[in-house]
């Protein structure tokens, strides 16, 4: 698991999936090619999925009740 304080590693991990040229992989992940993925938005809690929530076990969608303030707490605590 990549720790949140290692911001470069977190960003690198996100962009490995969100900027791929493999059309099948992009479609499987339900993202459009060249999606408007925004790392800052993820860091502010506008998440679609999150490995931290599942403790690194799987890439689950973020629960609806996880508001941005709580996401920041999970990210930085």
Total structural domains within the chain = 1
By the 10 Å C-beta count (0-12 exposed, 13-18 middle, 19+ buried), 63 is classed as exposed
Contact between 4 and 52 under an 8 Å Cβ cutoff? The reply is yes
Does residue 30 fall inside a structural domain? yes
Q: What is the pLDDT of residues 23-52, one digit of tens each?
A: 777 677 666 666 666 777 776 666 666 655
Does residue 24 fall inside a structural domain? yes
Does residue 2 fall inside a structural domain? no
Does residue 71 fall inside a structural domain? yes
DSSP assignment of 5-43 equals T-HHHHHHHHHHHHT---HHHHHHTT--TT----HHHHH
Does residue 22 fall inside a structural domain? yes
Does residue 1 fall inside a structural domain? no
**What mean pLDDT comes out for the span 14-23?**
74
> Is 0.85 topped by the overall pTM?
no
């Amino acid at each position: 698991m990549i720790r949140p304080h290692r911001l470069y590693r977190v960003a690198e991990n996100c962009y490995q999936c969100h900027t791929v040229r493999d059309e099948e992989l992009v479609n499987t992940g339900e993202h459009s090619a060249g999606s408007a993925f925004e790392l800052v938005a993820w860091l502010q809690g506008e998440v679609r999925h999150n490995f931290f929530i599942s403790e690194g076990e799987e890439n689950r969608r973020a629960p609806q009740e996880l508001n941005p303030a709580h996401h920041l707490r999970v990210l930085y605590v």
